[in-house]
Structure 1
Amino acid sequence: MAERIEANPSIMMGKPVIVGTRITVELIIEKLAAGETIDQILAAHPRLTREAVLDALQFAARALRADVTYPIPDKAA
């Protein structure tokens, strides 16, 4: 996984991206959360591979494992 994800201050303000692209892990996660399939993401971004998308998911999962709590505000009923 590590070889497909990089964070470089001179690329996308240091956000984690797929190596060799300006496609952020954040963008991939947002597209998946919006209901896009991996195949749709790959069609829209031909430089991506299925493995890179899966690595982005794994990277995000590891980032969320940190000992940090993320409060979710109550929604008005």
Structure 2
Amino acid sequence: MNWQDHIVSDNQVLLGKPTIKGTRISVELVLELFSAGWTEKQILESYPTVTAESLRAVFVYLKEFIKDPFCKFIL
């Protein structure tokens, strides 16, 4: 999966935080929801603009970021 198809950073949206493309839903929010015990189904039902594929892209993005912390500047 190419996370760049789903995760973007725009200085005009949430001060440039990585977000799910076409939304104002940040990678940070998705992680907060999962860490609070939300399921994928709950997130998808609560945020209809988010897809299962874009949720998976969040984790691919994080994996790449952990491997190379400078990748965030590639957005």
Indicate the residue corresponding to 1:4 in structure 2. 6
How far 1:3 moved relative to its partner? Answer: 1.1
Work out which of the residue numbers 45, 54, 61 in structure 2 matches 1:59.
61
Question: Does the Cα contact within 8 Å between 1:25 and 1:56 map onto a contact in 2?
Answer: yes
Q: Structure 1: give runs of 5+ residues left out of the alignment.
A: 68-77
How far 1:30 moved relative to its partner? Answer: 1.0
Give the share of equivalent positions with the same residue, in percent.
Answer: 33
Q: Distance in 1 between matches of 2:32 and 2:56?
A: 14
After superposition, give the CA deviation of every residue in 1:27-56 in whole Å (9 maximum; x if it has no partner): 001111111110000011000000000101
What RMSD over aligned residues (CA atoms) do the two structures have, in Å? 1.2
Bigger radius of gyration among the two: 1
Q: Structure 2: give runs of 5+ residues left out of the alignment.
A: 70-75
Greater fraction of residues in helix? 2
